A and B are shown apart, each in its own frame.
Chain A
Amino acid sequence: MKYLPLLPLLTRYPFLRLSSRVFTFDVAKGLEASPDAIEVAKEIVSHAIDGKIYRDRYVEEADFFCVGCDGRCYDCSEKGSFVNCDLCMKCFENCSYDYPEDIYREWYRKAELSLLSHISSRMIVSALDDWVRMRYAVNESSYYAELMRNDVGLKKPEIKKQDGDVVLRLIALDIGVKLKGWDVHVSTYVKASSRIRDERWRLVNRKLKDGFVETAKAEVIRIIEEMLRAKLFEKVPVIPSIQPAVKELSRKAAREAKRFSFDLGEVDLKCLPPCMKEILSELQRGMNVPHTARFALTSFLLNIGMDVEGIITLFKSAPDFDEEKTRYQVEHIAGERGKGSEYTSPSCDTMRTYQNCVWDCGVSHPLIYYKKCKSKRK
Chain B
Amino acid sequence: MNLTKLYLEKKFEEYYSRNDLALPTRYKNREFAFVPLELLPDFVMLRHISFKSYEDFKTYVLSKVPAHIYFSSAYYEKPDEAKMEDKGWIGADLIFDIDADHLPVKTQSLDKALELSKREVKKLVAVLRSDFGIRDMNIYFSGGRGYHVHIHDDEFLGLGSGERREIVDYLTLNSPKIVEDGRLLESNAARRVVNYMRRKLDEDEALSRKLKIKPKEFRRDRLTKKAVKAIEKFREEAERVLRIHIDAPVTADVKRLIRLPGSLHGKTGLRVTEVWDIDEFNPLKDAVAFGDEEVVLRVNKRINLKIGDMNTKIYPGRIKLPEYAAIFLICRGIAVYEGMA
Q: Which residues of A are interface residues toward B (Cβ below 8 A)?
A: 178, 185-187, 190-191, 193-195, 199-200, 202-212, 214, 291-292, 339, 341, 349-350, 352-355
Contact = CB atoms under 8 A, between A and B. Distances in A.
Contact of A339 (B85, B176, B249): B85
Contacts of A291: 249
B187 A206 contact: yes
Given A187-B159, A191-B159, A203 B166 contact: yes
Interface string B148-190: 0000000110011011111111101111110000000111111
Nearest to A214: B186
Closest 3 CB pairs of A and B: A211-B133, A210-B133, A194-B162
B276 interface: no
Contacts of B155: 178, 185, 187, 211
Nearest to A339: B83
A194 B133 contact: no
Contact of A208 (B168, B175, B188): B188
B130 interface: yes
Contacts of B249: 291-292, 354
A209 B170 CA distance: 13
B319 interface: no
Contacts of A203: 166-167, 169-170
A339 B252 CA distance: 21
A194 B165 contact: yes
A168 to B, nearest CB: 21
A167 to B, nearest CB: 25
Nearest to A355: B174
A230 to B, nearest CB: 10
24 contacts: A185-B155, A187-B155, A190-B163, A190-B167, A191-B159, A193-B166, A194-B163, A199-B177, A202-B176, A203-B169, A204-B170, A205-B189, A205-B190, A207-B188, A209-B188, A211-B131, A211-B133, A339-B83, A339-B84, A339-B85, A352-B169, A352-B175, A353-B174, A354-B249
B169 A202 contact: yes
B159 A209 contact: no
B163 A204 contact: no
Contacts of B131: 208-211
Interface range, B side: 35 or more
B238 interface: no
A204 B187 contact: yes
B133 A353 contact: no
Contacts of B187: 204-207
B167 to A, nearest CB: 6
Q: Which one of A185, A186, A203 has the greatest number of beta carbons of chain B within 10 Å? A: A203
A57 to B, nearest CB: 31
B137 interface: no
Nearest to B129: A210
B166 A194 contact: yes
Contacts of A352: 169, 174-175
Contact of A211 (B85, B132, B165): B132
Contacts of B177: 199-200, 205
Contact of B188 (A193, A200, A206): A206
A350 B162 contact: yes
A349 B165 contact: yes
Contacts of A341: 85
A352 B133 CA distance: 26
A353 B85 contact: no
B85 A350 contact: no
A202 B189 CA distance: 11
Contacts of A355: 174
Interface string B82-109: 0111000000000000000000000000
A353 B185 CA distance: 21
A195 B166 CA distance: 10
B134 interface: yes
B176 A205 contact: yes
Contacts of A187: 155-156, 159
A163 B60 CA distance: 61
Given A187-B159, A194-B162, A210 B169 contact: no
Nearest to A360: B175
A353 B189 contact: no
Given A187-B156, A194-B163, 19 more contacts: A190-B163, A190-B167, A191-B159, A194-B160, A194-B162, A194-B166, A200-B177, A204-B169, A204-B176, A204-B189, A207-B188, A208-B188, A209-B131, A211-B134, A339-B85, A350-B162, A350-B165, A352-B169, A352-B174
B248 interface: yes
A193 B155 CA distance: 16
A185 B159 CA distance: 13
Contact of A205 (B134, B159, B185): B185
A187 B163 CA distance: 8
A212 B133 contact: yes
B170 A208 contact: yes
A200 B177 CA distance: 8
A203 B132 CA distance: 11
Contacts of B83: 339
Contacts of A208: 131-132, 170, 188
A353 B169 contact: yes
Contacts of A211: 131-134, 155
Contact of A353 (B84, B134, B159, B252): B252
A315 B166 CA distance: 32
